[in-house]
Amino acid sequence: MNDPLLIAVIIRILLVLILGTAVLVITQRSLRSLFTIYSIQSLLLALLALVLYWQEGIFSLLLISLLTLVSKAIVIPLFLRRLLRKIPIKRDLEFRYLTPISSILVSIGLLFGVYRLFYKLSDELNFEPLFLLGTVIGVSLALMGMMVIFSRRKVITKTVGYLTMENGVLLFGLFVAELPFIIEVLILVDLLMILVLASLLAFGIDSTIESFHERLRNFGMEAEE
């Protein structure tokens, strides 16, 4: 199992699958499916961290893998589903500036642009080819997430875009340099706080100001009904 070639192939497959989930995030209209795709994307990311741990033996990679699995593949999608039950929308059909097809075309352009930039930089940062690929897909995933934020109208879809972007940054971090684990945990806490706030505001946009304030009073954690 410790065959470096096999590990490299697995990493490549996982990276391509992650890129595939990003394309689905851009095009998907049903909110439930969006959450599932995000969950799968996070699961692939957790697997990738696990494979990298296998290859390099750095313990913090194992912890990052577990943290990603629990928080992003399970807890956050569950939280989003729970929120979806409280707001009246189920699908996000509106696109601004970019349609799904043009978004994919722009994404391809972005991928090449990012590749060119990091190819130049790879000598200075001593990247191996596989690490260059990981970095490029990480940055592209972040940019594709940003495109979702700009091109979608509904706040909840924007939130998934933000989460995808954050996954891209995590992927980028996995290949460039792992930060101290305590910092990774703090960043996750920060992400969760932003998620709670964004979903609270998403609820506010689609409800009356009174019920929004009712939730705000209880820090968005209210179990009413």
CB 84 within 8 A of CB 32: yes
Q: To 5 degrees, how large is the angle CA 81–CA 86–CA 90?
A: 65
For other proteins (CB under 8 A), the number of binding residues is 36
CB 168 within 8 A of CB 145: yes
CA distance 73 to 64: 12
- Which of 45, 71, 157, 166 is the binder for other proteins (CB under 8 A)? 166
Sign of the alpha-carbon torsion through 48, 50, 56, 62: positive
A 10 A CB-CB count for 90 gives 10
Structure tokens at 91: 């699908």
Nearer to other proteins, 1 or 88 (CB): 88
Q: How far is the CB of 160 from other proteins (least distance, A)?
A: 12
Strand, helix or coil at 95?
strand
Region of 39-47, 57-65, 73-81, 207-215 interacting with other proteins (CB under 8 A): 207-215
Nearer to other proteins, 40 or 196 (CB): 196
Site string for other proteins, 119-158 (x = CB under 8 A): --x--xx-------------x--x---x--x-----x--x
Q: Give residues in contact with other proteins (CB under 8 A).
A: 121, 124-125, 139, 142, 146, 149, 155, 158, 162, 165-166, 169, 172-173, 176-177, 179-180, 183, 186-187, 190, 193-194, 197-198, 201, 204-205, 209, 212-213, 216-217, 219
